[in-house]
Amino acid sequence: MSAALPVLTANDFASDQDIRWCPGCGDYSILAQMKKMLPSLGLPLEQIVFISGIGCSSRFPYYMNTYGMHSIHGRAPALATGLRVARPDLKVFVITGDGDSLSIGGNHFIHLLRRNVNLTLVLFNNRIYGLTKGQYSPTSPEGQVTKSTPMGAVDHPLNPISIALGAEASFIARSVDSNIKHLAATLYRAAQHRGTSVVEVYQNCNVFNDGAFSYAQDKATRDDTTLELEHGKPLIFGKNRDKGIRLNGLHPEVVSLADGSVSHDDLLFHDEKAESTLVHLLAKMRHPQFPEPIGVFRDIEIPIFEDQVRGQLDSAIAKRGAGDLNKLFRSGDTWEVA
Amino acid sequence: MSAALPVLTANDFASDQDIRWCPGCGDYSILAQMKKMLPSLGLPLEQIVFISGIGCSSRFPYYMNTYGMHSIHGRAPALATGLRVARPDLKVFVITGDGDSLSIGGNHFIHLLRRNVNLTLVLFNNRIYGLTKGQYSPTSPEGQVTKSTPMGAVDHPLNPISIALGAEASFIARSVDSNIKHLAATLYRAAQHRGTSVVEVYQNCNVFNDGAFSYAQDKATRDDTTLELEHGKPLIFGKNRDKGIRLNGLHPEVVSLADGSVSHDDLLFHDEKAESTLVHLLAKMRHPQFPEPIGVFRDIEIPIFEDQVRGQLDSAIAKRGAGDLNKLFRSGDTWEVA
Amino acid sequence: MSTDTPQAHAAKQVQVVSGITVRLAGDSGDGMQLLGTQLTNTSALAGNDVATFPDFPAEIRAPRGTRAGVSGFQVQFAAHEVHTPGDTLDALVAMNPAALVTNIGDLRKGGLLIVNEDSFEDKDLKLAKLTTSPLDEPWVENYRLAKVPMTKLTRTAVQSLGLGVKEADRCRNFFAMGMVYWLYGRDLDATLRFIQAKFSKLPDIQEANERALRAGWAFGETTELFGSSYQVEPATLPKGTYRNIMGNQAMAWGLMTAAHLSGKEMFYGSYPITPASDILHELSKYKNFGICTVQAEDEIAAICSTIGAAYGGAMGVTTSSGPGIALKAEAMGLAVMIELPLLVIDVQRGGPSTGLPTKTEQADLLQLLFGRNGEAPVPVLAARSPGDCFDTAVEAWRIATQFMVPVVILSDGYIANGSEPWAIPDVNSLKPITITHPTGEAGEKFLPYSRDADLARPWAIPGTPELMHRVGGLEKQDGTGDVSYDAANHEKMVHIRAQKVANVAKIIPPQEVIGPSEGELLVLSWGGTYGACRTAVLKGIEEGRSVAHCHLRHMNPFPSNLGQILGNYESVLIPELNLGQLRMLIRAKYLIDAVGYNRVQGKPFSVSELVEKIAEMTSGKQNMASSKLTSRAG
Amino acid sequence: MSTDTPQAHAAKQVQVVSGITVRLAGDSGDGMQLLGTQLTNTSALAGNDVATFPDFPAEIRAPRGTRAGVSGFQVQFAAHEVHTPGDTLDALVAMNPAALVTNIGDLRKGGLLIVNEDSFEDKDLKLAKLTTSPLDEPWVENYRLAKVPMTKLTRTAVQSLGLGVKEADRCRNFFAMGMVYWLYGRDLDATLRFIQAKFSKLPDIQEANERALRAGWAFGETTELFGSSYQVEPATLPKGTYRNIMGNQAMAWGLMTAAHLSGKEMFYGSYPITPASDILHELSKYKNFGICTVQAEDEIAAICSTIGAAYGGAMGVTTSSGPGIALKAEAMGLAVMIELPLLVIDVQRGGPSTGLPTKTEQADLLQLLFGRNGEAPVPVLAARSPGDCFDTAVEAWRIATQFMVPVVILSDGYIANGSEPWAIPDVNSLKPITITHPTGEAGEKFLPYSRDADLARPWAIPGTPELMHRVGGLEKQDGTGDVSYDAANHEKMVHIRAQKVANVAKIIPPQEVIGPSEGELLVLSWGGTYGACRTAVLKGIEEGRSVAHCHLRHMNPFPSNLGQILGNYESVLIPELNLGQLRMLIRAKYLIDAVGYNRVQGKPFSVSELVEKIAEMTSGKQNMASSKLTSRAG
Ligand SMILES: Cc1ncc(C[n+]2csc(CCOP(=O)(O)OP(=O)(O)O)c2C)c(N)n1
Ligand SMILES: Cc1ncc(C[n+]2csc(CCOP(=O)(O)OP(=O)(O)O)c2C)c(N)n1
Ligand code: SF4
Ligand code: SF4
Ligand SMILES: [Mg+2]
Ligand SMILES: [Mg+2]
For the segment C46-96, what is each residue's pLDDT rounded down to a tens digit?
Answer: 999 999 998 887 777 777 889 988 999 999 999 999 999 999 999 999 999
Show residues of chain C in contact with B330, CB under 8 Å. 241, 243, 424
Model pLDDT, residue D625: 43
Show residues of chain C in contact with A103, CB under 8 Å. 271, 297-298
Show residues of chain B in contact with D280, CB under 8 Å. 135, 147-148
User: Residue C300's pLDDT band (boundaries 50, 70, 90)?
Assistant: very high
For the segment C393-404, what is each residue's pLDDT rounded down to a tens digit?
Answer: 999 999 999 999
Q: Cα D312–D318–D319 angle (5° rounding)?
A: 175
Is A267 a pocket residue for ligand 3 (Cβ < 6 Å)? no
Model pLDDT, residue D58: 73
Q: Please provide the average confidence, as pLDDT, over all residues in chain C.
A: 93
* CB-based contact D340:D307 (threshold 8 Å): yes
D13-232: CATH, from 3.40.50.1820, 3.30.465.10, 3.40.920.10, 3.20.20.100: 3.40.920.10
**Res C11 pLDDT > 60:** no
How many Cα atoms sit within 13 Å of D50 on the Cβ side? 33
B10-226+272-306: CATH, from 3.40.50.620, 3.40.50.970, 3.40.50.2300, 3.10.20.70: 3.40.50.970
Cβ of B158 within 8 Å of Cβ of A114? The answer is yes
Q: Cα D224–D229–D234 angle (5° rounding)?
A: 170
User: Residue C8's pLDDT band (boundaries 50, 70, 90)?
Assistant: very low
Centre of ligand 4 from the C-alpha of residue B209, in Å: 9
Of all residues in chain B, the one with the smallest CA distance to D270 is B148
Question: DSSP assignment, residue C188?
Answer: S
Total beta-carbon pairs less than 8 A apart between chain B and chain D: 67
Centre of ligand 4 from the C-alpha of residue B277, in Å: 35
Nearest alpha carbon, ligand 2 atom 1: D324
CB of A32 less than 8 A from some CB of C: no
Domain locations in chain B?
A: 10-226+272-306, 234-269
* CB-based contact C412:C457 (threshold 8 Å): no
Q: Cα B212–B215–B217 angle (5° rounding)?
A: 85
Alpha-carbon distance of C363 to C376, in angstroms, equals 20
Q: Could you tell me which chains touch chain D, where touching means 3 or more CB pairs under 8 A?
A: A, B, C
Alpha-carbon distance of A201 to A199, in angstroms, equals 6
Show residues of chain B in contact with D61, CB under 8 Å. 21-23, 207
CB of A51 less than 8 A from some CB of D: yes
* CB-based contact A39:A48 (threshold 8 Å): no
Q: In Å, how far are A131, A144, A204, C277, C297 from A134, measured between CA atoms? A: 8, 11, 13, 10, 15
Measure CA of the first residue to CA of the last residue in chain B; give whole Å.
56
Q: Could you tell me which chains touch chain C, where touching means 3 or more CB pairs under 8 A?
A: A, B, D
Nearest to C170 by CA among C151, C148, C192: C151
Model pLDDT, residue B4: 57
For the segment C166-177, what is each residue's pLDDT rounded down to a tens digit?
Answer: 999 999 999 999
CB of C297 less than 8 A from some CB of B: yes
Atom of ligand 2 nearest to the CA of B101: 15
Model pLDDT, residue C442: 86
Alpha-carbon distance of C371 to C355, in angstroms, equals 18
Centre of ligand 5 from the C-alpha of residue A139, in Å: 9
Looking only at the bridges linking them, the beta strands covering D315-320 and D342-348 are parallel
Give kind and range of the element (H or E) at residue A319.
Answer: helix A305-320
* CB-based contact B89:B47 (threshold 8 Å): yes
Alpha-carbon distance of A25 to A9, in angstroms, equals 23
Alpha-carbon distance of A60 to A76, in angstroms, equals 13
Tell me what the mean pLDDT of segment A271-282 comes to. 94
CB-CB: which of B157, B166, B278 is closest to A166?
A: B166
Complex ipTM > 0.90? yes
Q: Which fold has domain C243-429?
A: Rossmann fold (3.40.50)
Give kind and range of the element (H or E) at residue D534.
Answer: helix D530-542
The 10 Å Cβ neighbour count of residue B238 is 17
Three-state DSSP class for residue D571: strand
Tell me what the mean pLDDT of segment C347-362 comes to. 97
* B124 backbone dihedrals φ, ψ, rounded to 5°: -80, 100
Centre of ligand 4 from the C-alpha of residue B22, in Å: 5
Residue type, C319: T
Cβ of A114 within 8 Å of Cβ of B281? The answer is no
Alpha-carbon distance of A18 to A63, in angstroms, equals 8
Centre of ligand 4 from the C-alpha of residue B125, in Å: 11
Contacts of A163 (CB under 8 A, 6+ apart): A102, A106, A109, A110, B110, B166, B167
CB of D307 less than 8 A from some CB of A: yes
Cβ of C281 within 8 Å of Cβ of A136? The answer is no
Cβ-in-10-Å burial (0-12, 13-18, 19+) of D100 comes to buried
D60, D271, D354, best to mutate for ligand 2 pocket (most atoms within 8 Å of CB):
D271
* CB-based contact C352:D375 (threshold 8 Å): yes
Model pLDDT, residue A5: 60
Cβ of A72 within 8 Å of Cβ of C59? The answer is no
Is A206 a pocket residue for ligand 1 (Cβ < 6 Å)? no
Alpha-carbon distance of A255 to A238, in angstroms, equals 11
Nearest to A142 by CA among A164, A127, A160, A121: A127
Nearest to B112 by CA among B98, B102, B99: B102
CB of B51 less than 8 A from some CB of C: yes
Helices C607-617 and C530-542: angle between axes, nearest 10 degrees: 50
User: Residue C4's pLDDT band (boundaries 50, 70, 90)?
Assistant: very low
pTM listed for this prediction: 0.95
Cβ of C273 within 8 Å of Cβ of A148? The answer is no
Centre of ligand 1 from the C-alpha of residue D470, in Å: 19
Chain centre distance of CA D21: 18
Alpha-carbon distance of B250 to C507, in angstroms, equals 70
Cβ-in-10-Å burial (0-12, 13-18, 19+) of D479 comes to middle
Is B170 a pocket residue for ligand 2 (Cβ < 6 Å)? no
CB of C281 less than 8 A from some CB of A: yes
Tell me what the mean pLDDT of segment C607-619 comes to. 97
Alpha-helix runs per DSSP H in A48-159: 76-86, 98-99, 106-115
Domain locations in chain D?
A: 13-232, 243-429, 512-632
Centre of ligand 4 from the C-alpha of residue D208, in Å: 29
Cβ-in-10-Å burial (0-12, 13-18, 19+) of B133 comes to middle
Nearest alpha carbon, ligand 3 atom 8: A25
**Res A87 pLDDT > 70:** yes
**Res C444 pLDDT > 50:** yes
Tell me what the mean pLDDT of segment C461-466 comes to. 97
Tell me what the mean pLDDT of segment C341-362 comes to. 97
Cβ of A20 within 8 Å of Cβ of C354? The answer is no
Question: DSSP assignment, residue D138?
Answer: G
Of all residues in chain C, the one with the smallest CA distance to A147 is C281
Alpha-carbon distance of A49 to A38, in angstroms, equals 12
Three-state DSSP class for residue A172: strand
D27, D28, D56, D59, best to mutate vs chain B, most B CBs in 10 Å: D59
Model pLDDT, residue C624: 45
Model pLDDT, residue D408: 98
Q: In Å, how far are C129, D57, D542 from A18, measured between CA atoms? A: 12, 59, 71
Is B41 a pocket residue for ligand 2 (Cβ < 6 Å)? no
CATH of domain D512-632: 3.40.50.920
* C594 backbone dihedrals φ, ψ, rounded to 5°: -65, 140
Cβ of A132 within 8 Å of Cβ of C277? The answer is yes
Nearest to A118 by CA among A159, A73, A77: A77
Cβ-in-10-Å burial (0-12, 13-18, 19+) of B232 comes to exposed
Chain centre distance of CA B165: 12
Query: Taking a contact as any Cβ pair under 8 Å apart, which residues of chain C between 67 and 106 contact chain A?
Result: 68
Is A25 a pocket residue for ligand 3 (Cβ < 6 Å)? yes
B18, B22, B29, B30, best to mutate for ligand 4 pocket (most atoms within 8 Å of CB):
B22
Tell me what the mean pLDDT of segment C111-134 comes to. 94
CA gyration radius, chain C: 27
Helices D247-261 and D277-284: angle between axes, nearest 10 degrees: 50
How many Cα atoms sit within 13 Å of D311 on the Cβ side? 37
**Res C554 pLDDT > 50:** yes
Model pLDDT, residue D7: 38
Centre of ligand 2 from the C-alpha of residue B99, in Å: 6
Residue ranges, chain B, pLDDT below 70: 1-6
Total beta-carbon pairs less than 8 A apart between chain A and chain B: 125
Model pLDDT, residue A79: 98
User: Residue C10's pLDDT band (boundaries 50, 70, 90)?
Assistant: very low
The 10 Å Cβ neighbour count of residue B271 is 16
For the segment D582-607, what is each residue's pLDDT rounded down to a tens digit?
Answer: 999 999 999 999 999 999 999 999 99
Equal fold, C243-429 vs C512-632: yes
Cβ-in-10-Å burial (0-12, 13-18, 19+) of C214 comes to middle
Helices D150-158 and D203-222: angle between axes, nearest 10 degrees: 130
Model pLDDT, residue C629: 35
* CB-based contact B72:C329 (threshold 8 Å): no
Series of mean pLDDT values for 10-residue runs along chain D (634 residues): 37 84 91 92 92 83 85 94 93 95 94 95 94 91 94 93 91 94 93 93 93 94 86 91 96 98 98 98 97 98 98 98 98 98 98 96 98 98 98 98 98 96 96 96 93 98 97 97 96 98 97 97 98 97 97 98 98 98 98 98 96 95 45 28
What contacts 24+ positions apart, CB below 8 Å, involve C137-142?
Answer: C140/C113, C142/C109, C142/C110
A18, A19, A22, best to mutate for ligand 3 pocket (most atoms within 8 Å of CB):
A22
CB-CB: which of A64, A78, A321 is closest to D296?
A: A78
* CB-based contact D472:D484 (threshold 8 Å): no
Show residues of chain A in contact with D314, CB under 8 Å. 86-87
